[in-house]
Structures are given as C-alpha cells and as structure tokens.
C-alpha cells in the first residue's frame, strides 16, 4: 500500500517544489496540501495521511503547536517537521510535541525519502544538517578515525566498491568491510550516502 503524504506550509513554492520531488515516486501517494492550521485540521477530519510534512512557521498558530494537536487527535500520523531553521530549540520543541522527524528545507530528495521511510518504520529521523546541530550543541566530539579509515572513506566517497578499495590499498575485502562498518558506527550514519554527507560536512573529505 502506498504511503500517503500531506504537506502543511504557507509558501506555495515550497509545496510545489516538494510535490514535484515526490509525486512520481513509487510507493508514495500525494494527498495534497494545506496552507494554514484551519485547513489542515478540516482536511484531517475526512482524510488520514500516513505522513505530514509540517512547516513550523504558519500564519495562524505555529507548526510546533499544531504538531501537538494533531498527535493528540490522530496519534498514528507520523509528523516530520519542515523548516529553514536549524536551531536546536526548534528541533527539540517539535520533537517534544510528537514529531518523528525534522528536515531542513534545503535537504536533498534522498534525505526527504529517507525521512519518510524511517518514520514509516517507527523510527526517529533528523536530516544530516539537523543531526550535526544537535550533536554539536550537546558537546558530541567529532569522530576520531585512523589514517587507514580516512583512506577508505576517501575511496568510498569516490564511489569505489569494497573489491576496488581492497585492490587499491592491498588489503582484504573483509578488512575493507570492517573499516566501512567502523566508519558507519563512528559517524552514527545509517548508510553510505549519509556517511559521505556527514563526512563532507565535517570536512573529512
């Protein structure tokens, strides 16, 4: 069954931009949009999306407050906060009010799809930039990686496979796989694409 997506944002260009990104994706059903709280709540009386992409700045009440109201009335709906603000206070507030994710409006299509998939699986999601803000503010240290891990990371970013990396560095495929797993763990990345984005943000590559 397709995942039903609804967006609440008061900027039509944002709505159209996200719609154009998602409308042709397999497994997703675009249900439409609302540009204020009143329209959103009216829509939810007769329709049940799986995921709401919710702007935290709305013209009537804040998306943070709307998030709380939606989760109280419709607890099964997954909410992903959508914002151009990357301050931790905004992230904390909407997550505390029941949101399952937070994505910045400059996020890539891949991040948005990853967020939807993660929230549908019942997990929490922060886009890469939001996650870095949270880590930075709670005093998390920048990952410490070895010289060999840095070499492997650089080759991963170039798109090389484990076999190709093993050949280039004269090490076994098993060793490459171990380095890859260690890098994912150290950067707390869910997959290789996220690892590369986070490593780029932190200027490892």
Domain boundaries along the sequence of the chain: 3-137, 147-201
Average pLDDT over residues 17-28: 91
Domain 147-201 has CATH 1.10.10.10: yes
For the beta sheet containing 125-126, the strands, ordered from the edge strand earlier in sequence to the opposite edge, are 28-34, 3-8, 51-55, 78-83, 101-104, 125-126
**pLDDT for the residue 23:** 85
Q: What would the pLDDT profile of 114-123 be if each residue is shown by its tens digit?
A: 899 989 988 8
Q: Which of 83, 57, 54 is nearest to 67 (CA)?
A: 54
- What letter would DSSP give residue 142? P
SS3 letters across 18-39: HHHHHCCCCCEEEEEEECCHHH
The 10s digit of each residue's pLDDT in 83-139 is 988 777 888 889 999 999 999 888 888 889 989 998 998 888 888 777 777 666 544
Radius of gyration from C-alpha coordinates of the chain:
19
Whether 3-137 and 147-201 share one fold: the answer is no
**What's the pLDDT at 116?**
95
pLDDT band of residue 141 (cuts 50, 70, 90) is low
Q: What is the CATH number of domain 3-137?
A: 3.40.50.2300
**Prediction pTM value:** 0.68
């Amino acid at each position: 069954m397709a995942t039903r997506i609804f967006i609440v944002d008061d900027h039509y260009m944002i709505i159209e931009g996200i719609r154009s990104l998602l409308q042709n994706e397999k497994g997703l059903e675009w249900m439409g949009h609302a540009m204020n709280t009143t329209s959103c709540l009216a829509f939810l009386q007769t329709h049940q999306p799986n995921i709401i992409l919710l702007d935290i700045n709305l013209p009537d009440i804040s998306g943070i407050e709307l998030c709380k109201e939606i989760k109280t009335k419709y607890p099964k709906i997954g909410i992903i906060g959508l914002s151009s603000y990357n301050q931790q206070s905004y992230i904390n507030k909407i997550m505390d009010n029941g949101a399952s994710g937070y994505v910045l409006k400059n996020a890539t299509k891949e991040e948005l799809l990853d967020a939807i998939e993660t929230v549908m699986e019942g997990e929490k999601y922060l886009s890469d930039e939001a996650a870095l803000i949270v880590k930075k503010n709670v005093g998390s240290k920048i990952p410490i990686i070895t010289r060999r891990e840095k070499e492997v990371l650089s080759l991963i970013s170039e798109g090389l496979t484990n076999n190709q990396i093993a050949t280039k560095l004269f090490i076994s495929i098993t060793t490459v796989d171990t380095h890859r797993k260690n890098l994912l763990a150290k950067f707390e990345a869910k997959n290789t694409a996220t690892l590369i984005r986070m490593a780029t943000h932190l200027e490892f590559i």
